[in-house]
Amino acid sequence: MLWLSIVVDKACTQIWDARDSGKPVASLRVSPAVYDAVAAARPGEVARDCPLMLLGLPLVADHGVGTYDPVVC
């Protein structure tokens, strides 16, 4: 089973850490598996051509990112 709860926890922690350091955050890079899971969970938004977003950030599929190692950038 894919545990998005782990991905979201790590990403949210990174967002707060970035804010603490005054760094801007613009997007959330995730593995294609995570991206696909989010897309599958939100068929309505995909059908309406809305960008996939998580924690208020646009989601970007990145083959260089591990399943449980999202990157806020």
Partner 1 sequence: MLTAEENEALCRVGPGTPMGKVLRRYWTPAFQLSDLPEPDCPPIRVTVLGESFVAFRDSRGRLGFLDELCCHRGASLTLGRVEDCGIRCLYHGWKYAVDGTILETPNLATSTFRERVKHGAYPVREAGGLGWVYLGPPGAEPPFPAFAWAGAAPDELAVSEMIMDCNWMQVLEGSIDSSHVAILHLDTLATMGSGPRSVGSFEFAGEPWDLDMQVPSGGSGWPSDDNAPRIEVENTPFGFHYAAIRDVTGDPGKKFVRVTAFVMPYTAFIGGSSGAVIVVPRDDYTCSSIGVFTVPKGAGGAAAAQRARRGIDPAVWGPEPGNRRLRLPRQDREAMAAGKSFAGFRGGNRVQDAAVQMSSGKLYDRAKEHLVPADLAIIRLRRLLADSIRLVEAGQDPVGLGEGCDFARIGAASQVIDAGAAWQDLVPAHRGIREPAARSAR
Which residues of this chain interact with partner 1, rule CB under 8 A?
1-6, 8-10, 12-13, 15-17, 19, 37-38, 40-42, 53-56
Least separation in angstroms between CB 3 and partner 1:
5
Least separation in angstroms between CB 58 and partner 1:
13
7 burial via Cβ count (<10 Å: 0-12, 13-18, 19+)? buried
Contact 29, 62 (CB under 8 A): yes
- What one-letter code names the amino acid at 34? V
- Give the residue with the Cβ less far from partner 1, 14 or 62: 14
